[in-house]
Amino acid sequence: MTAIANSRRRQILRLIWDAEHSAGEIASTVDDVSWPAVSQNLRLLKNAGLITERRQGTHRYYRADRRALGPLEAVLRQMWTRDLGRLRDLAEAEARFRRRRRD
């Protein structure tokens, strides 16, 4: 479920990476199930500071804030730190399991 939601947000980000698009345009392009889901994804992205919103009349326009995605080093460091943390947990669990079996 998380991965699906994640890929939809990615899809939105890709669409508005280089050009501003209206909420309607985004909703018609992203293969999301419903407008509320698209709207909620846009709100999440906005709250996270990843996209900017501009209102004009009754329309809302969105664009990715590429600076917010951070430099490559930061992204990579975060990726490796998170993933190596998982590796540590798995390896430690396996080591404990083997020790118990030996005892």
Residues at the site binding other proteins, with contacts judged by CB under 8 A: 1-7, 9-10, 13-14, 17-18, 32-33, 37, 40-41, 44-45, 48-50, 64, 66, 68-88, 90-92, 94-95, 98
Query: How many CA atoms lie less than 13 Å away from 75 in the CB half-sphere?
Result: 7
Minimum CB distance to other proteins smaller for 54 or for 88:
88
**Minimum distance between the CB of residue 54 and other proteins, rounded to whole angstroms?**
20
Give the single-character DSSP code of 16: T
**Minimum distance between the CB of residue 20 and other proteins, rounded to whole angstroms?**
14
Give the single-character DSSP code of 90: H
DSSP 20-72: -EEHHHHHHHS--S-HHHHHHHHHHHHHTTSEEEEEETTEEEEEE-GGGG--H
Minimum CB distance to other proteins smaller for 24 or for 49:
49
Minimum CB distance to other proteins smaller for 57 or for 101:
101
